[in-house]
Amino acid sequence: MPRPYARYGRGREHADAGVAGPGVWHGDPRRLHRPGAGRRLSGSTSQRRREDERVAEEHDLVVIGGGPAGYAAALYGAAAGLDVALVEESKLGGTCLHVGCIPAKELLETASVLRTVREAGAFGVEAGEPVVDLAVSQSRKQGVVDNLTKGLTGLLAGRKVTVHAGTGTLGVDHTVTVDGDEPAVLQAPHVVLATGSSPRTIPGFDVDGTLVVTSDELLSITEVPERVAVIGGGAIGCEFASLLADLGSAVTLLEAMPEILPGCDADAAKAVRRAFKKREIDVHVGVSVHGHDPSDGATTVRFGEDGAVEVDLVVVAVGRRPRGDAAGLVGTRVEVDERGFVEVDERLRTGEPGVYAVGDVVATPQLAHVGFAEGMFVVRDLLGEQPTPVDPATVPWCIYSHPEVAFAGMTEAAAREAGHDVVVSSHRFIGNGRAMIVGDTDGLVKLVAEKDPDGRAGRILGVHLVGPWVTEQLGQGYLAVNWEATVDEVAAFIQPHPTLSELFGETVLSLTGRSLHG
């Protein structure tokens, strides 16, 4: 039997029946949905308020930040029947759409096409030496970005989300002040902070947009630099090193940790480093950078004990800094830690009842798809649906270098450190028929499983892939990890032939004690 209709209360106290705990509503969201932007709610939320002589718009939910996490919360909330307002200070879609995921992968696709044409002779196709025109590539990239932006704008309009252009500042009593060309004051029982992140910088490397750049500037280059130093061998750094090497740059990759791709399984990281070496990417691990010395349009980057490399461009790719303080928060109980992350519990609730934080601004994996999941999660949580929290330990990761990397779940080292008795199997793409056909055999599939008391491989703990199109192959591995599937259960799946994904099936099969080809 449906719960009786219950209105949102104001602040932390909810006297209505059907409300369980601060900021959680158990009524039918369809009863709250009202077409039209900024329309006032009835009852206790229908009062008109003034701040700085401006009339406050009343909504069910206000989201500050229009990146993946923010617009996911807005769209999903609107789909649930809530009256939603979204505040964005720059461009809808955020970093991911404009200076992150989408433009980076578009340029990586340009690099992939260039690589394919260069290797066409091996297939009997004489194409000559290809030449890349980055101006054309940038135009194509912008076309993709513009189309996706138009689509997102249409989605928000179609679901009657009120969009405000400007900087949103959260104050007392869930009041959000919008500072922009059209100032506004918004109020809602629930607010979602999704203020995102910005590229980190490092001392001694002031970003000038010409000689020293971050991801923001690199993704707009129109000429291929002859020599490049990429500082940071994580996901972003490896993607950029791979991209620039394919475009024809001589690339030096500098990483302070003992191995590139920290957080990846050790065997996966080693496989990428071997592939980079074959492509003549000069990788240095375990080194710190000490500064650079510009001269005549170039600069010399100093690293390690006595290392130095002269380059035409320095790319700083050392991660992203959360913008925890971007929404003001004065007069609220929202806390920001020393790293800049908004502090939340496992349900992404801040210290201010009714206020959530999602995406890059919280200390969970800074991935767009994690932001999507968190944005949807908080809507379900505020509606009282008791969703299962997003588990950072099992989310899928994808790195679009060449070779690609994809993984979910525990690395072998992490599983052992957690006390699991594990069994491991790995197979290389060099023996896979489809990989041979496409001419891309670098990489491997590695599975980490828990050893049962009888000595057999049981639950799959981690799946790690390196190789061609592995970002598109991770799905079944991710399901196996998150559904806590056993080796025997997954080994029963029939893999189509000939496919790259056969190698996943072969690797699982070998853990049963009987392999086919391996």
Catalytic residues: 497
Can you tell me the distance from the alpha carbon of 390 to that of 375, in angstroms, rounded to the nearest whole number?
10
Render 195-223 in DSSP notation, one character per residue. Answer: --EEE---TT----SSSEE-HHHHTT--S
| Residue 186, φ and ψ in degrees, nearest 5 | -120, 150
Can you tell me the distance from the alpha carbon of 359 to that of 2, in angstroms, rounded to the nearest whole number?
33
How many other C-beta atoms lie within 10 A of the C-beta of residue 156? 21
- Match 């100093």 to its residue by tokens: 302
CA 351 to mean position of chain CA atoms: 25
Render 369-415 in DSSP notation, one character per residue. Answer: HHHHHHHHHHHHHHTT--PPPP-GGG--EEE-SSSEEEEEE--HHHH
Contact predicate 287/468, CB 8 Å: no
Can you tell me the distance from the alpha carbon of 173 to that of 47, in angstroms, rounded to the nearest whole number?
14
Can you tell me the distance from the alpha carbon of 349 to that of 407, in angstroms, rounded to the nearest whole number?
28
Can you tell me the distance from the alpha carbon of 104 to that of 240, in angstroms, rounded to the nearest whole number?
8
Helix (H/G/I), strand (E/B), else coil: 206: coil
Task: Determine which helix (DSSP H) or strand (DSSP E) holds 64, and give its type and residue range.
Answer: strand 61-64
Can you tell me the distance from the alpha carbon of 451 to that of 80, in angstroms, rounded to the nearest whole number?
43
Best CA proximity match to 249, nearest among 270, 279, 206, 214: 279
